[in-house]
Amino acid sequence: MEDQRMKSLLQRLNAAVTENNAHDEKETVDDHSAFAALYVAEHLEYECPEDVVAGCICLNLLNTYVKQDDAKIGYFFKHYIEHINAWLAQDPAPEIRFSVYKDNGQDLEILELYGIHQFSFHSVNVTQELRDASVERGYADLVWNGIRNQKAAMTLYRFLPEVIELSEDKELMQRAEEYAKIREQRVVREGYMPFLGHETYYRIVGAAYDKPALVLLHGGPGSTHNYFEVLDRLADTGRPIVMYDQLGCGESYVEGHPELWTAETWLEELKTLREYLGLKKIHLLGQSWGGMLAIKYLIDEQPEGICSAILSSTLSSSALWAAEQHRLISFLPEEDQEAIRQAEETGNYSDRAYLAANARYMDLHAMHLSKKLPKCVRRQKRAGTESYLTAWGPNEYSPTGTLKDFDYTDRLGEINVPALVISGTNDLCTPLVAKTLYDGIRQAEWELFPGCRHMVFVEETDRYCRLLSAWMERYDG
């Protein structure tokens, strides 16, 4: 009887997977995911009606459809909702263990759409983002398992090793064991470096590895390292990830010293940090202003030990940047263009119409702020307002500060390491700005992310991390 039930469920599952894959080639369900979902639903010491099991398994297919047509959700799930509601009405209420396929909080939204609030959560692709989303919604005591890929296999190995053993996939078991060891070493070490009578905060993810470290230079000036925490996962590939708050912001906050806010200060800070942490061999990633700092460092200092540079949504010329921003502004509604024009002419950047226009501009080309962003991006930070205003200016298109004459375009050929240029099609770093870098650096490659704005690594974290991992493996030396 048990074998027959298992066979019936497998047939249902296979039919649902086939239907899903036929509708959307990009969202497919592999056999390991399917088997893990079935096993978890069937063998974790609780009674579960057959229809509920099938419904839970099918939930991992829903995200394909919820983005396109809400009615399609019903094809996979509404058939089972009566069984689930009846089951939930029991006293005491049972738990439901869902196996879901996607790695964001939308799965929880789907459950809430159907009024399901009491469940534990089995994911075939666990991420910190999903954990954060669940905790925010009040689901603090969740159960996590997975078997979709190397990361998911690691998670499952740690929490439910018998599922991997049952899969009889020896290669998957070996990868899971190896990955579990790596993940356990994803330690975070924090500290402060004395600098110019102040302190520079740094954060290192990962233990001591043989691979060169990745050093991250944040934007702004004054933006903090926070958003770079989405790249913590790169430590799982076996290399330390080093980020820090540049002097003037975040945990390195300083104000009342406008004389500090020059490129030379932050260049000296970078040099000092490398020496302080013993970072002899590194990959160097700079985003936005951080990329400007990386360019200056690579050209003016010709440092040793740089395996490669990653120039993410950055620029070689403040003048070109300003010109491109004004070109983008020309596509805004006329009233927004006029508000920005008035602010630039009068120097009054506190006018309500200007602030609204600038916010819409940044929403289009920098980042759309929403609750769906990773927690590290939304986390409250101590921005370096003084350092930004002094070094750059009142906004992205009016460089009036100490960086207003920054221009290394004619010297890009002096960069003597492989360089990966990254930008988005909707980026403040327009294709012209990015192509200027690509054309000027002899060993350059350029990756353009369709639809992305200024925080490419936040909007397309998975693809960004895959790109970086492959790139650094090529040039670890």
Q: Active-site residue numbers?
A: 288, 427, 454
DSSP letters of 150-211? Answer: HHHHHHHHHH-HHHHHHHT-HHHHHHHHHHHHHHHT--EEEEEEEETTEEEEEEEES---SS
CA distance readout (Å), 375 to 104, 204, 229, 313, 323? 12, 19, 9, 22, 34
Residue entry with tokens 């790596």: 182
354 sits in which H/E element: helix 352-365
> What are the two backbone dihedrals, phi and then psi, of residue 310, each rounded to the nearest 5 degrees?
-120, 115
Secondary structure (3-state) at 122:
strand
The C-alpha angle with vertex 473 and arms to 458 and 219, in degrees rounded to 5, equals 35
Q: How far apart are CA 205 and CA 466, in angstroms?
A: 18
Residues 432 and 316: beta-carbon distance below 8 Å = no
Q: How far apart are CA 30 and CA 149, in angstroms?
A: 10
Query: Position 161: which residue type?
Result: P
Q: Strand (E) positions, 303-449?
A: 306-312, 419-424, 444-449
The C-alpha angle with vertex 449 and arms to 146 and 266, in degrees rounded to 5, equals 95
Tokens standing for residue 158? 């740690």
Tokens standing for residue 400? 């009036």
Residues 154 and 161: beta-carbon distance below 8 Å = no
Sequence-separated contacts (24+) of 111-119 with Cβ below 8 Å: 112/137, 114/77, 114/81, 114/84, 115/85, 116/84, 116/88, 118/88, 118/93, 119/95
Sign of the C-alpha dihedral, residues 393, 398, 401, 402?
positive
DSSP letters of 46-92? Answer: S---HHHHHHHHHGGGTHHHHTT-GGGHHHHTHHHHHHHHHHHTSSS
